[in-house]
């Protein structure tokens, strides 16, 4: 029985592996699940997408492994978040040493190109503990409208490799954006009653999301990306949260939640874990589901009247 | 302030409980000469918790605790076995290998169950700041039980900790007592590490016990001093963390180290027999003066050799006295240097102002269109560009100033430091000859 089941699974896997190259035209490697989701939306069954950071792992603590070198080497297209978020990709590209995959090469796409960037700070471009917020805030995929800009770049990059399929990429993109638009209307409606509501978040992941859904993230539990809060900072957050009438503490996956929970308890407001990436929490398996989940969670948390 | 006190009360209560039990185990561990055993046990219990997590159990569930305890028991058995190994290789080496292997295994298990990463992060850093009332009550009950057990078993436990080959006991008896010791130790560490983190638990364990051992050989005196010093260090750590606005765990580790240094100084300069005391004080004075002079000499030579490089001591001196590089520039250059500083502040103010405007527009009034956002971003980029330009101007001028300081400050400082060191050396030779 056991062996039979195992054989069945093995057969299924072989079938998938065997079937995939027959359909796929373009081999795409994306650094994050979000970029992979957008590539899949445009490429449909004309592409095979691999993600370097496995779903549901901390992108800040990512350490490339030998297989990633191989994945990058054989990619027809490399899609990255840029803005220092996936800085570890640069040495990887350098190791592979293929001109095609380097900045400005035909197989290289920095998806942040053309996105209206928020929170541009000068000074350091160095990473401060984990991913950098040096150039600008890198969490731009959390605004659904930015998907239009990112997917436009993906269409161009895919069409460079498979010019014959350009029309299909364009059609896929339009279908995806139409669906996204319809859903975005719904998400905005469900969050419209909470416009201007104030939050405290753990990490500064939400400026793009807040802009689209008209929310106000007043401060962060971590004083700087990757730094744990001091008691003085927590006391300051409590005082500030009371004064500003913060309605919830928003917390990212992967980060220890003790401080956020303590803060929520002290302020008497709900603690809510939102997904920062596709697949970072259960029920966020694609780009639509990511926002579906976050909008539903926020609406539920804010919809219940305060005790 | 009120918020801060209410925030720090529970963590302080927890850290007092930690000090009481850990300092006691620390005394044992120092006698056994295996100070890293706690790291190995804590890491094994973390491995157990991670395996439980990979199996789908929450770390706080009974199953999660069971796994952690099971792995800790395995660790206790391995450490018991280390007494036999001690004949061939140092026990510390054995403990170290255990620790590294357990850590690596944890990383590998996590790779198969990504969400466990949060748990491991927590074990490393801890979060004593957010300990709850129920946790503190649990710690007190658990430590009271273990403390009582050790009180009843104090004779055999102390005997096997103090001697490497205890006389008059069978090998089996020694192994049983060793296992009891390591298992209770493992349970304590497993419970504290998720709250305080590996670094802080190590400090709780070793530093107070070391301080106690500096002052006495008698176990009960060592314990009382260790408890006092540990509680004092905790108070200093929490206060420092609040006043200086620093992460609590790391500040507490620093506070423990500082109390240790102070205790060492107190022992050498105050709590020694009168004859040694004055000699020690003289030696300490000489060390302080000599190291200051050597630092000045090295720093002034560095300024003379390479004025354009980073000059940490010169920069600290400038910051402390207010005698910035501007003082060593011609009037015209000084104006440029100062106006560059003002412009940098102004440009960064503009960047901040634009950020504030964009942020307010997210939820107030009419939203900004993408193109307006892009325009703001490009303004900000040019302000940043200009800031970098002014920064460059300041760097060039600072180099110029340092070029002058090279001879005006570096040379006299180097000469004074050399003369001072020479005098100290000469005096030493003289007093040696007299003897
Ligand atoms: Zn970030």
A32 lies in the same domain as A176: yes
A156 lies in the same domain as A78: yes
Tell me the average pLDDT of chain B: 87
- Tell me the two tokens of residue A34: 């979000």
Would you say A163 and A267 are in contact if contact means Cβ atoms under 8 Å apart? no
Contact check, Cβ <8 Å, A231/B377? no
Q: Distance (Å, rounded) from C-alpha A163 to C-alpha A157?
A: 10
pLDDT > 90: what percent of chain A? 62
Q: Distance (Å, rounded) from C-alpha B211 to C-alpha B431?
A: 34
A124 lies in the same domain as A97: yes
A292 lies in the same domain as A219: yes
Specify if A5 maps to a domain: no
CB-nearest to A255 from B3, B118, B373 is B118
Ligand 1 centre distance from Cα of residue A262 (Å): 22
Domain B2-271: CATH architecture, name and number where available: Orthogonal Bundle (1.10)
More confident residue, B280 or A275: A275
Specify if A44 maps to a domain: yes
Which residues, including other chains, have CB under 8 Å from residue B20's CB and lie 6 or more apart?
A: B143, B147, B227, B230
Mean pLDDT of B233-241: 93
Read off the pLDDT band of A22 (50, 70, 90): very low
Q: Distance (Å, rounded) from C-alpha A213 to C-alpha A184?
A: 10
Specify if A153 maps to a domain: yes
A298: distance to nearest CA of chain B, Å?
16
A169 lies in the same domain as A194: no
Contact check, Cβ <8 Å, A120/B7? no
Specify if A235 maps to a domain: yes
A53 lies in the same domain as A129: yes
pLDDT > 70: what percent of chain B? 94
A131 lies in the same domain as A231: no
Would you say A141 and A237 are in contact if contact means Cβ atoms under 8 Å apart? no
CB-nearest to B248 from A211, A231, A257 is A231
Look at residue A14 and tell me whether its pLDDT is greater than 60.
Answer: no
What φ, ψ does residue A226 adopt, rounded to 5°? 85, 5
Would you say A194 and A299 are in contact if contact means Cβ atoms under 8 Å apart? yes
Contact check, Cβ <8 Å, A258/B238? no
A165: distance to nearest CA of chain B, Å?
30
Specify if A36 maps to a domain: yes
Crossing angle of helices A287-303/A166-191, nearest 10°? 0
More confident residue, A121 or A143: A143
pLDDT attached to residue A134:
62
Name the residue ranges covered by the structural domains of chain B.
2-271, 289-434
A109: containing domain: 26-183
Residue-wise pLDDT for B318-369, tens only, equals: 888 877 777 888 888 889 999 999 999 999 899 989 999 999 999 988 899 9
ipTM: 0.84
A146 lies in the same domain as A213: no
Instruction: Name the closest residue on chain A to residue B110, using Cα atoms.
Output: A57
Look at residue B116 and tell me whether its pLDDT is greater than 90.
Answer: no
| Residue A136 touches partner B, C-beta closer than 8 Å | yes
| Residue B377 touches partner A, C-beta closer than 8 Å | yes
How many domains are there within chain A?
2
Specify if A75 maps to a domain: yes
B184: distance to nearest CA of chain A, Å?
27
Say what the pTM is: 0.82
Would you say B136 and B17 are in contact if contact means Cβ atoms under 8 Å apart? yes
A217 lies in the same domain as A146: no
pLDDT attached to residue A17:
44
Ligand 1 centre distance from Cα of residue A279 (Å): 17
pLDDT attached to residue A305:
56
A66 lies in the same domain as A102: yes
Q: A64, A122, A245, A267: best mutation site toward chain B, by most B Cβ within 10 Å?
A: A122
pLDDT attached to residue A244:
93
Q: B118, B130, B200: best mutation site toward chain A, by most A Cβ within 10 Å?
A: B130
Residue-wise pLDDT for B181-228, tens only, equals: 999 999 998 888 878 888 889 899 999 999 999 999 888 999 999 999
Residues of B with CB below 8 A from A266's CB? 3, 7
pLDDT attached to residue B117:
63
A89 lies in the same domain as A75: yes
More confident residue, B272 or B28: B28
Contact check, Cβ <8 Å, B363/A195? yes
Residues of B with CB below 8 A from A233's CB? 245
A56 lies in the same domain as A177: yes
DSSP class per residue in chain A: -HHHHHHHHHHHHHHHHHHHHHH--EEEEESSHHHHHHHHHHHGGGEEEEESSPTTS-GGG----HHHHHHHHT-SEEEE--TTTTTTHHHHHHHHT-GGGSTTSTTEEETTTT--------S--S-SSSS--SSS---GGGSTTHHHHHHHHHHHHHHHH-GGGHHHHHHHHHHHHHHHHHHHHHHHHHHGGGTT-EEEESSS--HHHHHHHT-EEEEESSSSTT-PPPHHHHHHHHHHHHHHT--EEEE-TTS--HHHHHHHHHHT--EEE--SSTTSSTT--SHHHHHHHHHHHHHHHHHSPP-
Look at residue B431 and tell me whether its pLDDT is greater than 50.
Answer: yes
Q: Distance (Å, rounded) from C-alpha B19 to C-alpha B114?
A: 34
Q: Distance (Å, rounded) from C-alpha B123 to C-alpha B116?
A: 11
CATH label of the domain that carries residue A227: 3.40.50.1980
A249: distance to nearest CA of chain B, Å?
15
Q: Distance (Å, rounded) from C-alpha B225 to C-alpha B18?
A: 15
Q: Distance (Å, rounded) from C-alpha B152 to C-alpha B400?
A: 73
pLDDT attached to residue A123:
54
Ligand 1 centre distance from Cα of residue B190 (Å): 32
pLDDT attached to residue B359:
92
């Amino acid at each position: 029985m056991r062996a039979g089941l195992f054989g069945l699974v093995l057969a299924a896997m072989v079938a998938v592996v065997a079937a995939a190259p027959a359909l796929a035209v373009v081999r795409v490697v994306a650094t994050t699940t979000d970029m992979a989701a957008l590539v899949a939306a445009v490429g449909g069954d004309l592409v095979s997408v691999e993600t370097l950071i496995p779903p549901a792992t901390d992108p800040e603590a990512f350490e490339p492994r030998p297989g990633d070198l191989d994945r990058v080497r054989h990619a027809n297209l490399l899609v990255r978040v840029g803005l220092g978020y996936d800085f570890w990709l640069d040495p990887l590209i350098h190791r592979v040493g293929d001109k095609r995959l380097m900045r400005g090469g035909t197989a290289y796409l920095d998806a942040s190109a053309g996105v209206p960037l928020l929170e541009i700070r000068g000074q350091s471009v160095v990473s401060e503990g984990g991913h950098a917020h040096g150039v600008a805030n890198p969490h731009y995929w959390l605004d659904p409208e930015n998907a239009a800009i990112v997917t436009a770049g993906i269409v161009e990059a895919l069409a460079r490799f498979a010019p014959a399929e350009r029309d299909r990429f364009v059609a896929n993109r339009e279908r995806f954006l139409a669906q996204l638009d319809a859903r975005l209307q719904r998400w905005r409606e469900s969050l419209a009653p909470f416009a201007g509501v104030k939050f405290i978040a753990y990490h500064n992941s939400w400026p793009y999301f807040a802009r689209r859904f008209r929310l106000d993230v007043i401060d962060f539990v971590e004083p700087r990306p990757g730094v744990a809060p001091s008691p003085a900072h927590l006391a300051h957050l409590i005082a500030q949260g009371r004064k500003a009438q913060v309605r919830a503490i928003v917390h990212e996956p992967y980060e220890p939640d003790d401080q956020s929970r303590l803060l929520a308890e002290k302020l008497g407001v709900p603690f809510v874990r939102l997904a920062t990436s596709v697949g970072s929490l259960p029920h966020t398996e694609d780009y639509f589901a990511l926002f579906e989940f976050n909008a539903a969670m926020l609406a539920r948390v804010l919809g219940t009247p305060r005790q | 302030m009120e918020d801060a006190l209410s925030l720090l009360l529970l963590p302080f209560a927890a850290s007092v409980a930690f000090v009481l039990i850990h300092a006691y185990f620390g005394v044992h561990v120092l006698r056994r000469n295996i100070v890293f055993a706690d790291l190995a046990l804590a890491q094994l219990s973390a491995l157990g918790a991670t395996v439980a997590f990979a199996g789908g159990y929450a770390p706080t569930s009974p199953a999660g605790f069971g796994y952690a305890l099971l792995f800790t028991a395995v660790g206790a058995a391995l450490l018991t076995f280390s007494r036999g190994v001690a004949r061939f290789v140092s026990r510390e080496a054995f403990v170290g290998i255990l620790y590294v292997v357990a850590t690596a295994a944890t990383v590998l298990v996590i790779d198969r169950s990504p969400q466990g990463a949060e748990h491991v992060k927590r074990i490393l850093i801890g979060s004593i700041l957010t300990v709850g009332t129920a946790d503190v009550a649990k710690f007190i009950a658990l430590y009271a039980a273990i403390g009582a057990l050790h009180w009843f078993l104090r004779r055999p436990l102390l005997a096997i900790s103090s001697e490497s080959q205890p006389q008059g006991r069978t090998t089996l008896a020694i192994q049983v007592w060793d296992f009891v010791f390591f298992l209770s130790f493992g349970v304590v560490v497993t419970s504290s590490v998720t709250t305080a983190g590996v670094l802080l638990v190590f400090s709780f364990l070793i530093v107070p016990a070391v301080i106690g051992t500096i002052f006495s050989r008698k176990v009960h005196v060592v314990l009382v001093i260790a408890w006092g010093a540990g509680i004092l260090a905790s108070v200093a750590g929490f206060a420092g963390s609040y006043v200086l606005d620093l992460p609590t765990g790391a500040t507490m580790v620093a506070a423990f180290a500082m109390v240790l240094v102070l205790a060492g100084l107190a022992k050498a300069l105050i709590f020694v027999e009168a004859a040694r005391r004055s000699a020690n004080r003289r030696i300490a004075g000489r060390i302080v003066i000599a190291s200051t002079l050597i630092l000045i000499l090295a720093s002034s030579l560095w300024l003379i050799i390479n004025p354009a490089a980073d000059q940490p001591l010169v920069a600290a001196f400038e910051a402390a006295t207010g005698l910035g590089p501007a003082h060593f520039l011609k009037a015209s250059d000084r104006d440029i240097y100062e106006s560059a500083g003002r412009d940098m502040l102004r440009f960064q103010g503009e960047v901040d102002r634009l950020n504030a405007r964009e942020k307010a527009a997210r939820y107030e009034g009419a939203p900004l269109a993408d193109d307006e956002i892009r325009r703001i971003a490009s303004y900000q980029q040019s302000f940043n560009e200009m800031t970098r330009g002014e920064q460059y101007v300041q760097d060039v001028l600072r180099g110029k100033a340092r070029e002058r300081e090279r001879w005006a400050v570096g040379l006299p400082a180097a000469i004074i430091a050399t003369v001072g060191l020479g005098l100290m050396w000469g005096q030493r030779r003289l007093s040696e000859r007299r003897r």
